[in-house]
Amino acid sequence: MTLETILFILFAGIAATTSVLMITRSNIVIAALFLILNFGALAGLYLLLNAQFLAVTQVIVYAGAIMVLFLFVIMLLKPEHERSIYKIPGMKIFAFAIAFLVFVQLAYLILFSSSSEKVSPDVQASINAGTIETIGRELFTNYILPFEAAGFLLLAATIGALILAKKKIE
Amino acid sequence: MTIWEILGFALLKILVIVSIMLLTVSYLVYFERRISAWAQNRLGPNRVGWEGILQPFADVLKLLLKEDIVPYQANKTIHTLAPIIALFVAFTTYAVIPFGPTINVFDYSIPLVVADVNIGILYVLALTSLGVYAVTFAGWSSGSKYSLLGGIRSSAQMISYEISMGFSIGGVLLLAESLRPLTIVETQGQWLWNAWIQPIGFITFVVSAFAETNRLPFDLPEAEPELVGGFHTEYSSMKFAGFFLAEYANMIVASGLIVTLYLGGYNIPFINIETLGLPAWLPVLIYISAFLFKMAALLFFFIWVRWSIPRFRYDQLMSLGWKVMFPLSLINIIWVAALIMIFNL
């Protein structure tokens, strides 16, 4: 086994275990903790695929910023009464059915679909594609319009959140 | 170099850096106490050894021997995990800060930095964003209202100041055209330090660094008069010492970052050492001491500020972060971009 395979198995194992642990914990803060670990393992997988920038942004944005916000909400609201959702009759069977369906779909896709033909055999090209220089140049030249549109949407969302949070603006 | 040589050198550098950092951290506490005593016209610790020079060892022994109390209401796993996260973040961040130029020993060319990665600055930002969890989890898991308030305050504070910190670094990156710390140091040259070129960015970064390390005037997460001890109220013994160590290690990392990004790293202004005709090993030592001297000066500044300026009120802290520091760091980026356009730097 090469070093890459060992690392892949390690990160993939952590990602799979933590995601299962996350949805089975009854304590919501512990669940959040496992989700953070999961994001960390995903960042490791991105690094193995030569996507440095994606890996670091995964940690900064998801593990660092969004999860802090989640924790913030959990700690301030103390959502203890959410547990009653498990008491609805038939909920468990419904959940199992959905989960099984998604599992079958994923297994089918992985086992029976043809492998992508667009994968480039050139390793150097994939290393170059993941660097921050390439991503920055692409974002500000070829993809400037979607980039600006996303920025504009986020600005609108920020203003909307401000108006919703503040009942009356002086 | 083979993989084993690379691993060996990396392990050696990690060992040296971690042991030096641990020693510096414990002496930093001693110097903080002596400087605070000097600032307040007291004597300070001067009993253990000559002028109290052995005080850190006495402190560590005391903390190790104390009873470790975990409150009844606490979540034990997370309560133990929080100081570990704090220490992990504080010590791993140092990995990308260069403390000297590349040296050549026995045909090996070794950069004097633990991990010479080309996304070094992003790595620092990623790790500091994880640092919030230590304080937040410590506050939540203690099962005490004071701790929880301290934890929530600090997560809000650290998120707010992370933004102005990231945007201040933007100016540096524009000039260096790289995220690699060694390149950033090299492009600053002998005297063209970023602190002179972009003073606004320098100020916003230093202020944000104070807020990120929870040092006074931004130590709202602790705020003894209102929150007893803030997030570490319910911590005792070595777990408390963990937070203590992490705070001082964070100070070292913050000053190392400020030196690297804004004060020219290991460069010495106006004197070109390479042309002085010194023996080959001497310039490297001079470069390393220049870096250490700048860092020591910044650490003194950290302590000096703590004993000179009173604490902010919480709303003042937030309005300073969002209404002053954030716009200033944006102005800094425009300033640097204009400089690049006009002078083709």
Q: What is the CATH number of the domain that holds A96?
A: 1.20.120.1200
Which two three-digit tokens encode residue B272? 């070109």
Q: Is A50 within 8 Å of chain B by CB?
A: no
For residue A151, what pLDDT is reported? 93
Domain match, A39 and A97 both: yes
Chain mean pLDDT for chain A: 83
Domain match, A14 and A76 both: yes
Domain match, A104 and A71 both: yes
- DSSP code per residue over B246-314: HHHHHHHHHHHHHHHHHS-TT--SS--GGGG---TTHHHHHHHHHHHHHHHHHHHHHHHHHTTSPPPPH
| Confidence band for A168, pLDDT divided at 50, 70 and 90 | low
**What is the total count of domains within chain A?**
2
Domain match, A13 and A42 both: yes
Domain match, A87 and A135 both: no
Let me know: does B168 contact B208? Beta carbons within 8 Å: yes
Name which of A99-103, B109-113, B120-124 the model is least confident about: B109-113
Instruction: Give A59 to chain B, closest Cα distance, Å.
Output: 6
For residue B1, what pLDDT is reported? 66
For residue A149, what pLDDT is reported? 95
Q: Which domain holds residue B203?
A: 3-343
| Confidence band for A17, pLDDT divided at 50, 70 and 90 | very high
Let me know: does B80 contact B239? Beta carbons within 8 Å: yes
Mutate to test the interface with A, among B88, B130, B183 (most CBs of A within 10 A): B130
C-beta atoms of A68 and B75 within 8 A:
no
Q: Is B187 within 8 Å of chain A by CB?
A: no
- DSSP code per residue over B58-98: HHHHHHHHS-----TTS-HHHHHHHHHHHHHHHHHHGGG--
B15: DSSP letter: H
Pick from B325, B341, B337: which is nearest to B171 by CA?
A: B337
When pLDDT is averaged across residues B217-222 and rounded to a whole number, the result is 72
Domain match, A93 and A169 both: no
Pick from B345, B26, B41, B6: which is nearest to B197 by CA?
A: B345
Residue A119, pLDDT above cutoff 70: no
CA distance linking residue A147 with residue B224, whole number of Å: 46
Domain match, A151 and A103 both: no
Instruction: Give A94 to chain B, closest Cα distance, Å.
Output: 33
Domain match, A86 and A65 both: yes
Instruction: Give A104 to chain B, closest Cα distance, Å.
Output: 36
Q: Which domain holds residue A109?
A: 3-113+122-130
Q: Is A16 within 8 Å of chain B by CB?
A: no
Which two three-digit tokens encode residue B104? 């050549």
Amino acid at B313: R
When pLDDT is averaged across residues B146-160 and rounded to a whole number, the result is 81
Domain match, A56 and A135 both: no
Residue B154, pLDDT above cutoff 90: no
Q: Is B93 within 8 Å of chain A by CB?
A: no
Rg (CA), chain B: 21
Residue B50, pLDDT above cutoff 90: no
Domain match, A126 and A146 both: no
**What is the total count of domains within chain B?**
1
User: Which secondary-structure segment (H or E) carries B110?
Assistant: strand B108-110
Which range, A75-79, A114-118, B39-43, B152-156, is most confident? B39-43
Residue A169, pLDDT above cutoff 60: no
For residue B221, what pLDDT is reported? 67
For residue B9, what pLDDT is reported? 81
For residue A154, what pLDDT is reported? 94
Contacts of B155 in chain A (CB under 8 A): 68, 71-72
Residue B181, pLDDT above cutoff 60: yes
Let me know: does B135 contact B155? Beta carbons within 8 Å: yes
When pLDDT is averaged across residues B108-123 and rounded to a whole number, the result is 80
Residue A105, pLDDT above cutoff 90: yes
Residues 6+ apart with CB under 8 A from A35: A18, A19, A22, A67, A70
Residue of A nearest to B122 (CA): A56
User: Which secondary-structure segment (H or E) carries B108?
Assistant: strand B108-110
pTM of the model: 0.85
Q: Is B161 within 8 Å of chain A by CB?
A: no
What tens digit of pLDDT does each residue of B260-317 get?
888 887 888 777 766 766 676 777 888 888 888 999 999 999 888 888 888 888 888 8
Residue B164, pLDDT above cutoff 90: no
For residue B13, what pLDDT is reported? 85
When pLDDT is averaged across residues B158-172 and rounded to a whole number, the result is 86
CA distance linking residue B124 with residue B97, whole number of Å: 9
Q: Is A64 within 8 Å of chain B by CB?
A: yes
| Confidence band for B152, pLDDT divided at 50, 70 and 90 | confident
3-state secondary structure (DSSP) of residue B158: helix
C-beta atoms of A29 and B140 within 8 A:
yes
Domain match, A81 and A146 both: no
Q: Is A132 within 8 Å of chain B by CB?
A: yes
Q: Is A76 within 8 Å of chain B by CB?
A: yes
**Greater confidence, A116 or A74?**
A74
Residue A63, pLDDT above cutoff 80: yes
Chain mean pLDDT for chain B: 83
Q: What share of chain B is helix, strand, coil (3-state, %, to 5)?
A: 70, 0, 30
Domain match, A79 and A10 both: yes
When pLDDT is averaged across residues A116-132 and rounded to a whole number, the result is 69
Residue B94, pLDDT above cutoff 60: yes
